[in-house]
A and B are shown apart, each in its own frame.
Chain A
């Protein structure tokens, strides 16, 4: 087994035992990138090779001097390109930010630096995290490592593909309506959207502030727990981050879930769910039952309203969050504008892609006088109702289980011109963001040769029990061990 194929915890053990060095590991991942990136196109940019090795060397030196090595120390990782990195271009896969170099680190970037991880590149995404296929990138189309003719999901498609194709040992993505979990499901890796407020959003380029959350994309649940422990915690720079002590999430990985109560929301198994996905997810739920969980069907009656409410709330916030890209201070500025209004209009028209423009218009409309009550305000009310569904369910159940996505990865181009069909890809993940609770996607088998994702949802700040159940399932099922072949016509 090559080093680049291994997980964080496996690599950490090897480093600790001095069987490998950080430099060797980073070389291995870098060679892997050189080998497969042409096919996958997971990255917007990769870091300078010399610099990566220098950083790895520094970690090795520190360890050689007798320093204690952090569980993530020396691990090569990737960040979605909406997470600010000081001195490194952060583009949101948008022409408008193509040359934007932040003078500051996102809090998560800083935390990972302090854990001595090594950034190897910034991953491709749907522009400003708007999309479910990573086809909305201004720069390139990322391929699914399981079938290069298929999309990797989105919007964190580059991050998920980089981990699935072993171009990074782990990655951070962001999840506003499913953007970590859905690509994790499509690429057969583990993706966690933490509770809103658990991980600082400082330095995450905002799409929809009340929904965005950064989370790990990893090769297994143990790695997920390790990364989450490193990035979670209160940040005085983010007023919405919650001041709670962060446990070591590894302590929950016991494999023991006897007596755990798991609800199965009926509405997530309705019309539009692929037969193959249904079969694998129900089988996974059966496995959980065999492991000792008590499983029961539950109704979440407001589920069907979550999708429209999400597109109104997220677009409304986006219309305001993205207003700052006007060509005045940074980013793309149209060359041929002679006055300020034309400069605004042309810079934005030329700088944003069509999906971003569609959502800005939708959001602007929803907030306009005369439409606010009918759209935005109503969407907020629906959000409260959706939350209510979860509150009621969690009075009875420890977790909920459902598919992550109604289908497996679809073909590149298939839904590109049908925004509504694309939006439906998020139908199982969106309610979780509206409620602010944590959810994890993990591989639970294959349909049509492509990975299927099992989604587990937990109570707010209940990442511990969530990871506990995910780990127990993963260890018994073993789907995390499967590796893609990187085959298919491009």
Chain B
């Protein structure tokens, strides 16, 4: 997966990913975590950081963190604790964030990624739990140029996991692949919605460049504000090239935090190393250390669903799916669940996969719809596939039926009856159509007979058109060939 365009350099990339957990309530109070809602309606004295209030840890957050840790092959700490990360910002009600510093809940995991046939094991250095901040909206462009700024604390105290990778990624595409796969896993284990546009999945990248084969690390920069896969890949590409340009020009890369400007298509300096915050971490005295007994971990381990890699292998093994199909289908848990539901009613995996990979994904994309909200349910697709097999409808008509099912949620037989789409398989009826087409297209008949075999395709097409797509295409083909002998 090494990007050849950077030769003789290579990129060294590590990602810090923040995911909002979809526990029902916040990490330290009973407010709901639901996205949206009128500003400052999902708040209480605790998540507003009023004087005298105290945090109480939501156990579900620990559950979810352990789940994520196990899915990412981490060691789950027996003793973990929370720490305060101190900095001033108006979206942070206490002016410190309760986070984890030196005893995170998960450490030492990995995630295997694959692209262009190259496999790579990416280390997961640590996963820790923390609280999210509120959200600012400025009267003007930025906080320093605005006359006023408004704060919404609905998000304050929503639980987050920070997942930190080792600097094991070697190209922007690899970084993207890693993030996509990570997102897939987190969705699989149902700990987060991972909606980048809503900010429930956020990503910062640490990046440096070095000569290929070198063991040294170059000076790194940190890039913030990467709000989509595309932004991640583009920002990293820009930054790799920028750093190479600096080095080639005889300069040195400055250690700093940069931000991605989507419109400019470039990264811009945000603050230097000297301006970096001193967070003054210290143990959170309002919470007691977290002791995680092994039984708890084992229980969660048992409850983990089949993870993407295992599922992919199973689809290849059980249904003979091509690797590519299996990867796409298991790339999202919802799509994989959909597939598994379809093959319960129609066990030809490859046929199902063709319909999912082609028509279904195309329509979902075009309508910008989530598969979970799709009106076309797996049993309906299975029923349609059986109708094709029985010759009730042609594959071509099935395309129409499929679209109508997708749009209306009606069952296939209902659509076929309503629209009169039953396939014509009556020899007499088809013969009449064939004879008419042969009579009307003497030139094509001539062509075919003189050896231009392609002409038969045109004639089949004409018959199908005449039958409004209802003629059994196999029978039409056979009959035409017969008559043209």
Contact = CB atoms under 8 A, between A and B. Distances in A.
Nearest to A363: B280
Contacts of B278: 368-369
Nearest to B51: A205
A369 B50 CA distance: 28
Contacts of A106: 52
Which residue, of A97, A320, A339, has the highest number of chain B Cβ atoms within 10 A? A320
Contact of B56 (A204, A239, A317, A339): A239
A324 B86 contact: no
A111 to B, nearest CB: 15
Contact of B54 (A239, A320, A339, A367): A239
B144 A323 contact: no
B282 A329 contact: no
Interface stretch (B265-273, B285-293, B305-313): B285-293
B1 interface: no
B151 interface: yes
Contacts of A367: 86, 280-282
B280 A329 contact: no
B276 to A, nearest CB: 10
Nearest to A106: B52
Interface stretch (B91-99, B425-433, B455-463, B477-485): B91-99
B48 interface: yes
Contacts of B354: none
A489 B287 CA distance: 48
Interface in B24-60: 45, 48-57
Interface string A314-342: 00110110011110111000000001100
B80 to A, nearest CB: 14
Contact of B287 (A239, A323, A329, A364): A239
Nearest to A235: B54
B84 interface: yes
A206 B52 contact: yes
A316 B94 CA distance: 15
A259 interface: no
B52 A320 contact: no
B149 interface: yes
Contacts of B49: 324, 329
B95 A323 contact: yes
A201 B55 CA distance: 11
A206 to B, nearest CB: 7
Contacts of A372: 280, 282
B149 A203 contact: no
Residues of B contacting A: mostly? loop
A372 B149 CA distance: 35
Contact of A239 (B84, B90, B282, B288): B288
A317 B95 contact: no
* Interface residue range, chain B: 20 to 34
Given A326-B95, A330-B50, A320 B56 contact: no
A329 B48 contact: yes
A238 B90 CA distance: 26
Which residue, of B51, B84, B149, has the highest number of chain A Cβ atoms within 10 A? B51
Contacts of B53: 104, 202-203
Given A102-B52, A205-B52, A340-B143, A320 B96 contact: yes
Interface in A38-86: 82-84
Interface in A357-386: 364, 367-369, 372, 376
A203 B53 CA distance: 5
Contact of A237 (B51, B54, B93): B54
Interface string B105-127: 00000000000000000000000
Interface in A92-120: 92, 97, 100, 102-104, 106
A340 B144 contact: yes
A329 B93 contact: yes
Contact of B96 (A84, A203, A323): A323
A209 B286 contact: yes
Given A236-B56, A316-B282, A326-B88, A100 B51 contact: yes
Contacts of A97: 51
Contacts of A330: 50
B100 to A, nearest CB: 15
Nearest to A365: B280
Nearest to B286: A209
Contacts of A329: 48-50, 93, 151
Which residue, of B54, B86, B288, has the highest number of chain A Cβ atoms within 10 A? B54
Given A239-B287, A316-B282, A323-B95, A339 B144 contact: yes
B405 to A, nearest CB: 51
Contacts of A140: none
Contacts of B88: 323, 326, 344
A91 to B, nearest CB: 10
A90 interface: yes
Given A205-B52, A236-B56, A239-B54, A210 B86 contact: no
Given A239-B57, A324-B94, A328-B90, A210 B285 contact: yes
A303 to B, nearest CB: 23
Nearest to B287: A239
Interface string B67-99: 000000000000000001010101001111000
A317 B50 CA distance: 16
Contact of A201 (B54, B57, B281): B54
A347 to B, nearest CB: 11
Contacts of B282: 316-317, 320, 367, 372, 376
A323 B56 contact: no
B86 A323 contact: yes
A220 to B, nearest CB: 29
Nearest to B276: A369
Nearest to A326: B95
A324 B93 contact: yes
Nearest to B86: A320
Contacts of B96: 320, 323
A84 B285 contact: no
Contact of B51 (A102, A240, A340, A369): A102
Contacts of A203: 52-53
A205 B94 CA distance: 13
Contacts of B95: 323-324, 326
A344 B95 CA distance: 11
Contacts of A369: 278, 280
B154 to A, nearest CB: 14
Given A209-B286, A210-B285, A340-B90, A320 B84 contact: yes
A339 B49 CA distance: 22
Contacts of A83: 52
Given A103-B45, A209-B285, A238 B86 contact: no
A325 B49 CA distance: 10
Given A103-B45, A104-B45, A344-B88, A240 B288 contact: yes
Give me the 3 closest cross-chain CB pairs, A-B, nearest first.
Answer: A323-B95, A209-B285, A367-B280
Interface of A: 82-84, 90, 92, 97, 100, 102-104, 106, 201-206, 208-210, 236-240, 316-317, 319-320, 323-326, 328-330, 339-340, 344, 364, 367-369, 372, 376
17 contacts: A84-B52, A90-B51, A92-B51, A104-B45, A104-B50, A201-B54, A202-B52, A205-B52, A206-B52, A237-B54, A238-B56, A240-B54, A323-B94, A329-B48, A340-B143, A344-B88, A364-B280
Interface of B: 45, 48-57, 84, 86, 88, 90, 93-96, 143-144, 149, 151, 278, 280-282, 285-288
Given A102-B51, A323-B96, 15 more contacts: A83-B52, A84-B51, A90-B51, A104-B53, A202-B52, A206-B286, A210-B285, A320-B96, A323-B94, A326-B88, A328-B90, A328-B151, A329-B151, A330-B50, A367-B282
